[in-house]
């Protein structure tokens, strides 16, 4: 089950914590990857660590022209086809609404939501021709629950969920599924920096009693990318240890 | 029948899976040939590829019948 041998994928934000775990999980199931990110050195180091001759492409996701060029470049690098697009890259610019600057709002919307739209639009064309495709976007539990100080981030993540539902309906007849994975609290450099009191407060809200790992997200992406998940579209798979059941 | 017409009809038959005799020049993609809006987008993509022309969105929106497609492609060649 969930053998993805021979498939190709573009993963954005691939050198980050969750992105690298997704890339590792897909590669482990036989997917050939194009790893995209903003830091060339980190990307190359990660590709070397992964082994297996995966490609890397540097892209600034706040630059519309660069984003529009990314899928065609990835298709070329992957030998002419793209089976899976993983919109993983995301940024935060947290602030309370009364203090939020225009560019804190627009930067987050442009990288998290607009880039996901541009990449999905570009990937839909070759996927439609191939009569097969998997568009998977990493959203967040806060896109559904909200979170103080994250109006921009929560809006971008809720936007991805709505967009995916629409695309799922548009593209279902062509063998393309469009889904989201919504992580809760995942162990990362950010959560490592929290103090014990903060960690205890968070854990109290998580029935599973612990933080999630990148591998938990990678496994969810592998499932949604698989041929076996072909009847699942427009959905958001919440991976959060039960902290929000929605 | 022009060469363009032959090639256009062949693409329509293949893509929409309809019988060749139904693909007359007056046939409307949506009303007569059962296409939906996504089929039209795909047909336009296939025409672009076959004839090496670019069909911008505003022109694509006006292509409703087989003849519309043939005429547009002929005007660009």
pLDDT tens for each residue of A35-63: 999 999 999 999 999 999 899 999 999 99
pLDDT value at A17 more than 70: yes
Q: For A157-181, what is the mean pLDDT?
A: 98
Q: Which residue of B has its CA nearest to A171?
A: B38
B32 catalytic? Reply is no
Residues in chain A with CB shorter than 8 Å from the CB of B54 are none
A128 interface with B at CB cutoff 8 Å: yes
Choose the catalytic residue: B6, B26, B31, B36.
B36
pLDDT at B8: 97
| Contact between A173 and B42 using a beta-carbon 8 Å cutoff | no
Per-domain boundaries in chain B: 1-73
Q: By the CB < 8 Å criterion, does B50 face chain A?
A: no
**Alpha-carbon span B77 to B74, nearest angstrom:** 5
Q: What is the pLDDT of residues A201-224, one digit of tens each?
A: 889 999 999 999 999 999 999 999
Q: Report whether pLDDT(B1) > 60.
A: no
Q: Does A170 touch chain B (CB under 8 A)?
A: yes
Is the pLDDT assigned to residue A193 strictly greater than 90?
Answer: no
Query: Per CATH, is B1-73 categorized as 1.10.1200.10?
Result: yes
Kindly state whether B38 is in contact with chain A, defined as any CB-CB distance less than 8 angstroms. yes
For the segment A106-125, the average pLDDT, to the nearest whole number, is 98
Domains defined for chain A, CATH in brackets: 8-239 (3.40.50.720)
What gap in Å lies between CA A71 and CA A8, rounded to an integer? Answer: 12
| Feature table: binding site of A for NADP(+) | 88, 153-157, 186
ipTM of the complex: 0.82
Instruction: State the nearest Cα–Cα gap between B24 and chain A, in angstroms.
Output: 25
Report pTM.
0.93
**Neighboring chain B residues of A129 at a CB cutoff of 8 Å:** 42, 45
- Asked if A202 reaches chain B (Cβ–Cβ under 8 Å), the answer is no
Query: Between chains, do B38 and A129 touch, taking CB under 8 Å as contact?
Result: no
Q: What pLDDT sits at residue A216?
A: 98
What pLDDT, in 10s, does the model give residues A76-106? 999 999 999 999 999 999 999 999 999 999 9
A positions 210-239 inside 8 Å of B (CB): none
Q: pLDDT per residue over B28-71, tens digit each?
A: 999 999 999 999 999 999 999 999 999 999 999 999 999 999 99
CA distance A99 to A116: 27
């Amino acid at each position: 089950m969930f053998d993805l041998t021979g498939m190709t994928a573009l993963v954005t934000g691939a050198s980050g914590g969750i992105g690298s775990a997704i890339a590792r999980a897909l590669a482990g199931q036989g997917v050939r990857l194009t790893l995209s990110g903003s830091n060339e050195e980190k990307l190359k180091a990660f590709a070397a660590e992964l082994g297996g001759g995966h490609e890397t492409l540097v892209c600034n996701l706040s630059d519309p022209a660069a984003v529009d060029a990314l899928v065609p470049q990835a298709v070329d690098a992957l030998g002419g086809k793209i089976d899976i697009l993983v919109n993983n890259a995301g940024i935060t610019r947290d602030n309370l609404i009364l203090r939020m600057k225009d560019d804190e709002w627009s930067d987050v919307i442009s990288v998290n939501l607009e880039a996901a739209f541009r990449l999905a639009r570009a990937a839909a064309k070759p996927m439609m021709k191939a009569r097969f495709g998997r568009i998977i976007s990493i959203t967040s539990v806060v896109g559904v629950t909200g979170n103080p100080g994250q109006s921009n981030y929560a809006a971008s993540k809720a936007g991805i969920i709505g967009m995916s539902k629409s695309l799922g309906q548009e593209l279902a007849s062509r063998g393309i599924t469009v889904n989201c994975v919504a992580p809760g609290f995942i162990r990362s450099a950010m959560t490592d920096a929290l103090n014990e009191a903060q960690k205890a407060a968070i854990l109290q809200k998580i029935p599973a009693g612990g933080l999630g790992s990148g591998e938990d997200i990678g496994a969810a992406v592998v499932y949604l990318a698989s041929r076996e998940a072909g009847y699942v579209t427009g959905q958001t798979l919440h991976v959060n240890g039960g902290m929000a059941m929605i | 029948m022009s060469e363009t017409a032959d090639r256009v009809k062949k693409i329509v038959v293949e893509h929409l899976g309809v019988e060749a005799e139904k693909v007359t020049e007056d046939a409307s993609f949506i009303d007569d040939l059962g296409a939906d809006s996504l089929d039209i987008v795909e047909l336009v993509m296939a025409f672009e590829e076959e004839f090496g022309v670019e069909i911008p969105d505003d022109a694509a929106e006006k292509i409703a019948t087989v003849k519309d497609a043939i005429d547009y492609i002929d005007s660009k060649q």
